[in-house]
Structure 1
Amino acid sequence: MRQRGKWPLLQALAALAAMNGAVAEAAGVAAQSNELERNTSPIRNFAEFIPCVQAVRIAHEDAPIIDGDLSDPIWRRATPIEEFYQVEPVEGRAPSQPTRAYILFDDRNLYVGIYNYDDQPDQIRRSQMKRDPQLSDDDAVRIYLDTFGSFRDAYFFGVNPNGARSDALIENNGSFQDQWNTIWRAKTKVVEDGWIAEFAIPFQSISFDPALEEWNFQILRTIRRNNEEIRWSNIDRSRRRIDMTNPGRLAGVRDVESGIGLEVQAYVTGSAAYDWETDNTDYDLKPSGNAFYKITPSLTGSLTVNTDFSDTGLDARQVNTGRFSLFFPETRDFFLQDAQVFEFGGRVFQDQVNGLPFFSRNIGIVSGAPVDLIAGAKLSGKLGPANVGVISTHTGASEVAGTDGQFLSAARLSVPVLSESKLGAIFTHGDPTGADNSAVAGADFQFKRSNVFGNGTLYSDSAYIQSFTGGESDHMIAHETAYRSQTWNTTLRFRDIGEDYAPELGFSNRTGIRRYNANGFRAFRPENSFIRYAEIGGWSNYISDRHGERLDQYFGAFAGGNNNPGDALWFNYEHGFVNIQEPFLIAGEVPVATGDYRWNQYEVELSATNARAVGGGVEVRWGGIYDGDYLSIENRLSVRPNRFIELAAEYEYIDFDMPSGQIGIHIASLDSVIAFTPDMTIKTEVQYDNISQAFTFFSRFSWEPIPEREVFLSFGHTALIDRVDFPRDFRSQGSSLALRLGHTFRM
């Protein structure tokens, strides 16, 4: 039912407007903030502003100690970076606090030192200690490395004043894959005039093009109490902070070592599983491992054997209230490594995944049930000017899913064209269920042009995909053109999916349709106001069958914005029409008959920034649905009493009251984090919904004594709770305990 075509756009814009604090960087030798020259008037035109810094080479034996202290004499050899500008709240204005950064490298590591001056050190926000924190809720500093000159993809490394590290892959200037982790070091220290961050990023932890004279590079700091964002480059608030369209340049990084280019991750997992219904206990001792070999500095070969996914968290609980299957994103580390190489279609699949030709979650998971990944090989990186991604795996048989072992493969190739665009192809082979002999072939063109109609950006992405499954062949065509600026914005989309289109290694939940989307909105950024950002706009979504008969049609309007701290208020209206051609059951229980249905729905969303000790929000949606009434209430609460403890609770109630029946759906989750240090945490997830009646508890202890070593302990419990007798009727199903020890060897 949730066909709200505007939502991904709204979420991205709200996230941009609510940019929360992170602290910028500067190494240094006790330079005082009043020594830094700062302008007070905004600088408006940054279209051609491309700063460049020369990294200074040092001997490995002279490398700085990574301890959050920039007093090491070696930092004096680096050229200081001092020219930073606000993006929020006033684009182009000098920051409220100065920042100084330094770049060094030796044959093994890139070193970044950042001195984040602050004349109110007691006001520095540092509420989190866990790995991969929500940096937007704290003061923080981030660095971005585009080591292939793509202007679309990048490595991300960030840290808050507690030393809590975050790393991620940025794909196509839009996708932020923070499930990705690699080996690197960072230490921080709060001092009397601010705070200091030191980074050491091994060249073995990233891939790069050794022929590049300059890497694309960005430094970004946020000061949370002002909701202030400071950048070294890309001084354009119409572009998200993960956008690498107009980055600075890092020059001089060359002739570096990656050893022999071999990395081996060795694990051994001991586990026990108890079945409460049969009173059986199974024990298992499972060795596993991954190997990565840099064939060249920019091309990596990977091998996984008996892959262990015991550290993967729970999927967000969802209940299907509509006609089409749900999408669950990939969360497993092996498939997230170099995931940006397999990105296809650009903006076409950014928030509409129907028709996706390759979805790695189909490897090792069949019909929602996990199957063993016996072995897998992957090739990813750059071969000449081309980006290359190839993966081939062998999965085991599954009694639960009723499948035999399968060989599953995918390949992706793309090359840069024009100045900011790329052209590519994708191929897949295999069916996870083994039911058919399946293959997919596709091509895409991703066009981008900056500085159009002033400082706006024009995007135009297209994709064509052909599937070959069980003797049937069919296609999908998709296109999006979008214009983004600080004022006027618009998007046009088209999608044509054949009836027999079936990408068995991809994701498709509705075929035989043509879909047309459009939206437009006007953004406002009033100065000297309590409102930081506001927008008003409209959208439409029209779906027909491939003969032109109307199936669904939605249109609506929205308005809202954010205040200076980052709190938000949004109003939305939707008019819907659907032509139900096959009856279905809402949540598997309440029938919806064939026929035409029309309705109006309204929504109010109020959220308080999680940068406070207590944050959260409420979203209420109400109106008609299928000749009945609809009500949805979603509540979110976040509590951080100190930097060691974090609690997050979500509760959603959805009510359908229709002539054919009534159902109330309850979905609840509770997450907690206890972080003893940035490298030692206990994460616990609890979930329940009254439709599946499934209760799930999963707790994970993780400790990295050193970046190369891991101790992981997990405990899980599943049960059924009868929704009529909740919470009294608690019937345990299974419990599991696993201990995994791991070490990474680099040669």
Structure 2
Amino acid sequence: MPRPTLEARRATGPITLDGTLNELAWSLADSTRGTFYQSIPDQGAPATERTVVRVLYDDERLYVGAVMYDSRPDLLVSAGMEQDFATQDSDIFGFALDTYLDRQNAFLFAVNPAGALFDAQAFNDQQSVNRAWEGEVEVSTRITDEGWVAEVAVPLTTLRFRATEGAQSWGLNFARRIRRISEDSQWAPLTRQFRIYKMSRAGTLTSLEGLRQGRNLWVKPFVNGVRTDGAQAASQGEAVEGGFDLKWGITPQFTLDFTALTDFSQVEVDEQQINLTRFSLFFPEKRDFFLENEGIFAFQDARVRNFRTGSGPQNFKLFHSRRIGLSAERTPVPIAGGVRLTGRAGGYAVGLLNMQTRDKGGSPAENSSVVRLRKNVLGSSDIGVMFVNRAGTGPEVAGDYNRSFGADANLRLAGGRMLLNTYLALTDEPGADGDRTAGLLEVAWRDPLWDASMLLKTVGDDFNPGVGFVARRGVRQGFVTLGAHPQPDIPRVRELNPYVDIDLYSDLKWALETREITPGLGVSFLDSGILTLEYAVSYERLAAETRIAGASVPAGEYDFGAFTASYQSNLGRKVGGKLSITQGGFFDGERTSVGGSVTIRPSARLFVEGTAQRNRLTLAGRTFEANLFGGRVRLARDTRTFLSAFVQYNESADELQTNIRFNLIHAPLSDLFLVYSERRNPAPEAGEAGLIDRAITVKFTKLLAF
């Protein structure tokens, strides 16, 4: 089917966002004529409900107006009112804009019937998505007897595009999800393994003339006051600080970001994890400054939606921004400031970053720099290089440094059904004399029926990216998988996914360390429930006594197997949940793990979740438990006022963690935060402090646009 096109027309008068689309300009606009095509469940068939979309623009904004006809508007689902709500659990209308028409990258926007907004950036033709990106966007929705209406205004200063004298075209796709019947459909048709941000298959928006971004300068000052106390608090007492972030579109292709006296006190705390492996845990980045344009700086093991790749960013990232401004214990290290330049020129994506931290206790001041270049090739593929430098700037660490170098290629072939990824990286630091290299070659295939992949990887014993993350050093890895995705005529079943994974690790001398063979079956139901059954046959060789889950496991060779069954219901319903059970051997003992969650969403304004993870382990001759319990509540007054609370109890550490956060969005991209967080020992021994640390924070930000 040829790419669909839609003509954008200049608005003939003012557009008022009220969810009615009653201005004359809307009636004169070109439209999608109402036909979208399903990707799920009945791939290629017309959507069961009509969706009509029109696009207007003026000197300041791009307007998207959509009418989602629905025979049962009383059954619409809105999964929250907060920004970046759970789109997979909601009715949504969404669109992706490829403003450079490179068929690789896009700005993403989605709204639900309650008027909540999801916005993100997508990179490398669906390979990565930055959900933390935020743009200044206005939304109005309205539910009618015939369905619902969405009216979205995107200021041109929110987007990046080429300034041209004549007309220009952008890549474009629209998507709709009808949650009650688990139907996904798009304007430019997609097969079921792809999503709306698969821009190599998107349609085209034409006839955009005379677009200008203006001065495109944003300044966002902040002031925050904090009071801290507790036995392990990094500091005691009160403090008032201020700083600012600046964003300047110095050209239509390049954006400069500057931050001074950076503060992230409003960021939600990390969730605790139970580590049942012998390797380091990966914690994701949550700080907005580092998440914006994160995809440009990606140099990592790929994790691509609907591909089984055998690895992912949780195993390796040459640059992991969490290493800046956070200690190894995940406590904040003050940041003096930083600058970032990102953009595109001559077919290259460019990313430059420099950050300076301040001295704090056992964390001396450091400077971190990143240079990233990527070149678009073969339409939707890229090749690139990266350099990362970390240097001590305090007098006691003036000679300390760590440097990382890398080159990578990410090829998307056969219309996006085939991936070929490879990289070679090298690190350098004083005293490193072992193998300081890492390399990967990966080939993956995914079409509507089959998926298969092969991965070969090596990581040297002295490979140490100082501003990156690597879970396992001194190993060679081989991974292969084969799976199928038939859609048999079975009542209530949408898709079956039988598969087998084989994962091998050896040391650098090719002596086997780990082998895991996992046959499994996934069942996707028409109501969006997912059942997974697996049996993992494992071999582990420990060269020395090793701490695992708090127990010291002797050196030796271990063969064991374990069965896992998991089920996730349709989380778009008022009551949903997940359940996972693992039973079987575990090194020299046994493991029984039961984990799950229950979610309650009586309306778009209220969300309640309870989680539990119970692990009964027999290791090294002793039996013990490692348990984790948590709860979360989110309450919304409207799309600008929110209260959330998160509580988690780690039974093994006997630690209770609490985070309560109030957020008022008083103006676009401008916030008032009130945050209370603490860690506490609920049953201290005699002479021990119950309060580990506590902080009360008030933070005010205001976006100033020029």
- TM-score bracket for this pair, using the shorter chain length: over 0.9
1:76 to 15, 20, 27: 27
Are residues 1:136 and 2:95 paired?
Answer: no
What is residue 298 of structure 1 aligned with on the other side?
A: 253
Give the secondary structure class of the aligned counterpart of 1:268. strand
What is residue 121 of structure 2 aligned with on the other side?
A: 169
1:63 deviates by: 3.4
Would you say the 8 A contact 1:148–1:209 is kept in 2? yes
1:148 deviates by: 2.9
What is residue 326 of structure 2 aligned with on the other side?
A: 365
Q: How does 1:686-697 map to 2 (within 5 A)?
A: 686-697=647-658
Q: Which runs of 5+ in 2 are unaligned?
A: 304-308
| One-letter amino acid of the structure 2 residue matched with residue 378 of structure 1 | R
CA distance in 1, matches of 2:537, 2:215: 61
Would you say the 8 A contact 1:590–1:663 is kept in 2? no
Give the secondary structure class of the aligned counterpart of 1:245. helix
| One-letter amino acid of the structure 1 residue matched with residue 463 of structure 2 | Y
CA distance in 2, matches of 1:528, 1:65: 49
What is residue 118 of structure 1 aligned with on the other side?
A: 70
Change (3 A) 1:84 1:186: same
Q: How does 1:94-105 map to 2 (within 5 A)?
A: 94-105=46-57
Give the secondary structure class of the aligned counterpart of 2:598. strand
What is residue 187 of structure 1 aligned with on the other side?
A: 140
1:395 to 357, 362, 371: 357
What is residue 306 of structure 2 aligned with on the other side?
A: none
Give the secondary structure class of the aligned counterpart of 2:290. helix
1:276 deviates by: 6.6
| One-letter amino acid of the structure 1 residue matched with residue 703 of structure 2 | T
| One-letter amino acid of the structure 2 residue matched with residue 446 of structure 1 | N
1:253 deviates by: 2.9
Are residues 1:419 and 2:379 paired?
Answer: yes
| One-letter amino acid of the structure 1 residue matched with residue 446 of structure 2 | R
What is residue 11 of structure 1 aligned with on the other side?
A: none
Change (3 A) 1:346 1:50: farther
* TM-score, structure 1 as length reference: 0.88
What is residue 21 of structure 1 aligned with on the other side?
A: none
1:258 to 198, 208, 213: 213
Cα deviations by residue, 1:155-196 (Å, 9 ceiling, x for unpaired):
211110000111122233143332222211111000111100
Are residues 1:580 and 2:542 paired?
Answer: yes
Are residues 1:323 and 2:292 paired?
Answer: no
Are residues 1:630 and 2:591 paired?
Answer: yes
CA distance in 2, matches of 1:296, 1:216: 21
Q: Choose 470-479 or 97-106, whichever is displaced more.
A: 470-479
RMSD between aligned residues = 2.2
CA distance in 2, matches of 1:102, 1:278: 55
What is residue 638 of structure 2 aligned with on the other side?
A: 677
CA distance in 2, matches of 1:671, 1:208: 40
Q: Choose 711-720 or 616-625, whichever is displaced more.
A: 711-720
Would you say the 8 A contact 1:131–1:164 is kept in 2? yes
| One-letter amino acid of the structure 1 residue matched with residue 57 of structure 2 | F
Would you say the 8 A contact 2:130–2:293 is kept in 1? no
1:724 deviates by: 10
CA distance in 1, matches of 2:117, 2:324: 29
1:720 deviates by: 1.3
Cα deviations by residue, 1:335-368 (Å, 9 ceiling, x for unpaired):
1111121122573796254342111111111212
CA distance in 2, matches of 1:742, 1:398: 25
Would you say the 8 A contact 1:171–1:343 is kept in 2? no
Are residues 1:457 and 2:417 paired?
Answer: yes
CA distance in 2, matches of 1:264, 1:414: 29
CA distance in 2, matches of 1:636, 1:432: 44
Q: Choose 510-519 or 652-661, whichever is displaced more.
A: 652-661
2:568 to 578, 599, 607: 607
1:283 deviates by: 1.4
Change (3 A) 1:209 1:496: farther
What is residue 710 of structure 1 aligned with on the other side?
A: 671
What is residue 731 of structure 1 aligned with on the other side?
A: 690
2:495 to 517, 533, 556: 533
CA distance in 2, matches of 1:134, 1:345: 26
Would you say the 8 A contact 1:345–1:461 is kept in 2? no
Give the secondary structure class of the aligned counterpart of 2:319. coil
CA distance in 2, matches of 1:543, 1:650: 33
Would you say the 8 A contact 1:590–1:660 is kept in 2? no
Give the secondary structure class of the aligned counterpart of 2:322. helix
Are residues 1:504 and 2:433 paired?
Answer: no
Q: How does 1:118-517 map to 2 (within 5 A)?
A: 118-172=70-124, 173-210=126-163, 213-275=168-230, 282-345=237-300, 347=302, 351-367=312-328, 368-399=330-361, 402-430=362-390, 436-451=400-415, 457-472=417-432, 474-517=436-479
1:254 deviates by: 4.4
Would you say the 8 A contact 2:392–2:401 is kept in 1? no
Would you say the 8 A contact 1:694–1:719 is kept in 2? yes
CA distance in 1, matches of 2:665, 2:615: 41
CA distance in 2, matches of 1:326, 1:735: 24
* Identity value in percent: 25
Are residues 1:661 and 2:622 paired?
Answer: yes
CA distance in 1, matches of 2:184, 2:56: 25
1:708 deviates by: 4.2
Q: Which runs of 5+ in 1 are unaligned?
A: 1-45
What is residue 64 of structure 1 aligned with on the other side?
A: 15
Change (3 A) 1:592 1:279: closer
